[in-house]
Amino acid sequence: MKVLTSEMVFKGHPDKICDEISDSILDAYLEQDKKSRVAVETLIKDDMVVIAGEVTSKAIVNVKEIAEDVLIKLGYKDLDKYRFVVRISMQSPDIAVGVDKDGAGDQGIMYGYATDETFELMPLPIVLARRIAIKMDELTKHIPQFFGSDGKCQVSVEYNGNDEPVRASTIVVSQQTTKEATREFYESFIINECIKKVVPPEFIDENTKILINPTGEFIKGGPYADCGLTGRKIICDTYGGVGRHGGGAFSGKDATKVDRSAAYYARYVAKNIVASGVAKKCEVQVAYAIGVSAPVAVNIDAFGTSRYTNDEIKDVVLKFFNFSPSAIRNEIISDDICYYDLAKYGHIGRTDIVVPWERTNKAYVLKKYFKDYKK
C-alpha cells in the first residue's frame, strides 16, 4: 500500500505566529486602502520580533501594535519585554511600473491541485491534520493552565491499489503543555476529545498508531524553543505535500503578487475540473514573467484519471479561465477576505471559512461543454 503523510501546525507555532503577524499587517493596510501594495515578512525568536518588507499605501498603520495584538491572542501577555525591529520601505518603482500595467509582480511558478477523495476535494491526510489542528486550538484555549499555544500534528494515510484512502496508519500530535499537565491526563484528553472527535471512525482501527508528544515532554515552546519565520509552512498552507508547490509564500503579500493570487486561482481551476467530473484528480501549473500580463505557461495534469487528454482539458480551461493578474483579482479576490484567518490553518481547501477560490461555480459549465467536446 502507498502511504501519504501530511502535517499541520497549530496557530501558536512560531512560523504560524509570523504568518499571522504578516497577514494581520496586510489586513490593516487593505482596510484603509484597498489599493495597498504590501510585501511584509516577520521573524520571531525569544523576545525579538523583526518586521521587514515593502509597502506602498495611503494607509497609516502601526505594525508594532498589530504584532502585539497577535501575540496577546496567543497568550503572550508580557509585551513590555519584547523588542521590535521594523524595516519597511516603499515598493520598488521598477516593480510597480509592471504591476500598474497589469503585469505580474514577480516571476515564478504556481500550482493548484484537487482530488475527489474528500468532500473538500483535497487529499485526506491534510484534511485530517487540519481538523486536528483546529480542534486542538479550540480545546486548549479554554484551559491555559494545562496547555500552551504551540503544537503540530501529522497524519499518515494508507491508499489501496485504486488510489483510494482506506485507513490512517499513524497519527502524531505534539502539543505544548504546562508542568501541571500529567501525561496520563493530556494523552487521554487529546485522543478522546480531539482525535476521536474529528477523524472518522472508519479510518481508525486497532493497528492505527497514535503518538502523543512522542519525545516524552513538550513544555518549552513558541519562539523560545524555535525561531519562527513567515512563509516557512507553505506545504501546510496548501496540499500537505501531495500536490507540487512553486516555492512562493502567501502571507504578508497583497493580491498583486502572483505567488499568492495565481496559486489561489490554480486551485480554483483544478477544483472546478474535478467537481465537474472531468477528472478524478488534477494539477494546474501556471508560470509568469515579471511585468508581463499573460502567463508564460499553463499546464494541466489529470494523472490519467480523465477520458480527455491533458491538452484537451487545457484547451477548454483557457476558454473559461483568464490567468492575467488583473482578471484573477477581479474573479476570486474580494474585499472582505480576512488574510489573518487564512494564515492560521492554511489557504487551500478551507471549509471553516468562505473564500472565493473554493467555489465550484464553473463546474456545471465545464461538465456541459466537455459533454459535447468530441461530438
Is residue 165 assigned to a domain?
yes
Residues whose CB is less than 8 angstroms from the CB of residue 143 and which lie 6 or more positions away in sequence, other chains included: none
CA R_g for the chain: 21
3-state helix, strand, coil in the chain (%, to 5): 35, 25, 40
User: Residue 1 — pLDDT band, cuts 50, 70, 90?
Assistant: confident
Structural domain contains residue 237 = no
Overall residue count recorded for the chain in this entry: 375
Using alpha carbons, list the distances in angstroms from residue 217 to 114, 176, 220. 37, 8, 9
- pLDDT on residue 303: 97
Residue at a domain's end among 176, 203, 223: 223
Determine the 3-state secondary structure of 34 from DSSP. coil
Residues 168 and 186 in one domain: yes
Final residue in a domain of this structure, among 175, 204, 223: 223
Please tell me whether residues 132 and 89 are part of one structural domain.
Answer: no
Going by C-alpha positions, the residue among 105, 104, 99 that lies closest to residue 295 is 104
Same domain as 138, residue 112: no
Of the candidates 334, 359, 337, the residue with the CA atom closest to the CA atom of residue 349: 359
Query: What's this model's pTM, rounded to 2 decimal places?
Result: 0.95
Q: Which amino acid is at 18?
A: C
pLDDT at 360: 97
Q: Is 207 exposed, middle or buried (0-12, 13-18, 19+ CB in 10 A)?
A: exposed
Give domain status of residue 297, yes or no: yes
Closest of 142, 217, 227 to residue 181, by C-alpha: 217
- Tell me the C-alpha distance between 286 and 276, whole Å: 21
Kindly state whether residues 93 and 162 are assigned to the same domain. no
> What span, in angstroms and rounded, lies between the C-alpha atoms of 133 and 151?
8
**Structural element, H or E, at residue 177:** strand 165-177
Task: Looking at the structure, tell me whether residues 148 and 182 fall in a common domain.
Answer: yes
Query: Is residue 83 one of the residues assigned to a domain?
Result: yes
Q: What's the pLDDT score for residue 81? A: 87
Quick one: pLDDT at residue 103?
72
| CATH assignment at residue 89 | 3.30.300.10
Decide: helix, strand or coil at residue 170. strand
365 and 261 fall within a common domain: yes
Integer Cα distance of 302 and 304 in angstroms? 5
Q: What angle do CA 303, 267, 28 make, to 5 degrees?
A: 160
Give the number of C-alpha atoms closer than 13 A to the C-alpha of residue 177, restricted to the C-beta side.
21
DSSP string, 51-97: EEEEEE-S----HHHHHHHHHHHTT---GGG-EEEEEEEPPPHHHHH
Is 231 contained in some domain? no
Pairwise CA distance, residues 350 & 233, whole Å = 16
- Which among 243, 258, 247 has a CA at the least distance from the CA of 323? 258
CA diameter of the chain: 71
The pLDDT tens digits of the residues spanning 276-321 come to 999 999 999 999 998 889 999 999 999 999 999 999 999 999 999 9
Number of domains forming the structure of the chain: 3
Are 202 and 288 in a shared domain? no
> Cell 513558541 identifies what position?
222
| Domain extent for 96 | 15-100
pLDDT tens-digit readout, 203-253:
999 999 999 999 888 999 999 999 999 999 999 999 999 989 999 999 999
Query: Is 302 a domain residue?
Result: yes
C-alpha cell read off for 224:
523560545
Residue 349's pLDDT band (cuts 50, 70, 90): very high
* 333 and 289 assigned to the same domain: yes
Burial zone of 88 (CB within 10 Å; 0-12 exposed, 13-18 middle, 19+ buried): middle
Query: pLDDT tens, 58-105?
Result: 999 999 999 999 999 998 888 888 999 999 998 777 666 667 667 787
The reply to whether 328 falls in a domain is yes
